[in-house]
Amino acid sequence: MRILGFIVYILFLCAPSSFSQISDVVKERIDSDYKGISDIKHFGAKLNHDFFSKDDKLGAIYYWICTNVEIDVKKYFSKNGGYTYNFKYKTREEKVRKIQETDNKMALEAFRSKKATGKEYAHMFKKMCDNAGIECEVISGCLKSKYEDIGRKPGRSDHLWNAVKIDGKWHLIDSFWGAGYLNEQEQTFTKQYSERFYMLSPEEFFLNHFPKRTQWVLVDRSPQEFEALPLFHYQYFFLNMNLLIPAKGIVSVVSKGKISVVFKEKGEGINTQDLFGFSYGFEKDETLAKIIPFKKGEYVKFQIPVPDLKHDYFSIYFKGQPVVTYKIKLPANTF
| Domain(s) of CATH 2.60.40.10: residues in the chain | 241-329
Q: How much is the pLDDT for 5?
A: 47
Q: Vertex 324, ends 148 and 310: CA angle to 5°?
A: 55
Write the pLDDT tens digit of every residue in 150-209: 999 998 888 999 999 999 999 999 999 999 988 877 888 889 999 999 999 999 999 999
Per-residue confidence (pLDDT) for residue 4, from 0 to 100: 42
Express each pLDDT in 21-55 by its tens digit. Answer: 899 999 999 999 998 898 999 999 999 999 999 99
Residue-wise pLDDT tens digits, 58-107: 999 999 999 999 998 888 887 665 556 677 777 888 788 887 888 888 89
Residue range 241-329 forms a domain whose CATH class is mainly beta
- The proportion of the chain whose per-residue pLDDT surpasses 70, expressed as a percent, equals 89
User: Residue 33, CB half-sphere, CA atoms under 13 Å: how many?
Assistant: 14
* Residue type, position 123, single letter: H
**Where in the sequence of the chain do the CATH 3.10.620 domains occur?**
19-227
Q: What is the pLDDT of residue 97?
A: 85
Q: What count of residues does the chain have? A: 335
**Residue 190 forms beta bridges with which residues?**
181
- Report the b/e string of 99-138 with b at 16+ CB within 10 A: eeeebeebbbebbeeeebbbbbbbbbbbbbbebbebebbb
Task: Write out the DSSP string of 210-256.
Answer: EESSGGGG-SS--HHHHHHS-EE-GGGGGSSEEEEES-SSEE---BT
Pairwise CA distance, residues 163 & 217, whole Å? 10
Q: Is the predicted pLDDT of residue 321 greater than 50, yes or no?
A: yes
Average pLDDT over every residue of 12-19: 45
Mean pLDDT of the chain: 88
Say if residues 253 and 259 touch (Cβ distance below 8 Å): no
Q: pLDDT value at position 79?
A: 61
Distances (CA, A) of 119 to 44, 71, 158: 20, 11, 9
What is the average pLDDT across 126-139?
97
The whole-number pLDDT of residue 84 equals 64
Looking at the domain covering 19-227, what would its CATH class be? alpha beta
